[in-house]
Amino acid sequence: MTIKINVDMAKCQHYGQCVFEAPNIFKLNNDDKLEYTAEADESERANVEAAIDVCPMQAIFIVD
């Protein structure tokens, strides 16, 4: 089973806090811009939820 992840890039300020919580899903590229995987295994849910909680811009969502 997979979960779908969405980041509102209009809100995202590329602080990278999500990278620390879910490094398999989120990363900052060479330009320090956020890149992410839009679908992840259910086993990553807790990490993604932690990333949602620490995002200062509240830009990360799990799409049901």
Q: For the segment 29-54, what is each residue's pLDDT rounded down to a tens digit?
A: 999 999 999 999 999 999 999 999 99
> pLDDT confidence of 64, banded at 50, 70, 90?
confident
Q: Which residues contact 63 (CB under 8 A, 6 or more apart)?
A: 4, 5, 6
Q: Residue 29 has what pLDDT? A: 98
Please give the model's pTM, rounded to 2 decimal places: 0.94
Task: Give the pLDDT confidence of 10-34 residue by residue, as tens digits.
Answer: 999 999 999 999 999 999 999 999 9
Quick one: fold of 2-63?
Alpha-Beta Plaits (3.30.70)
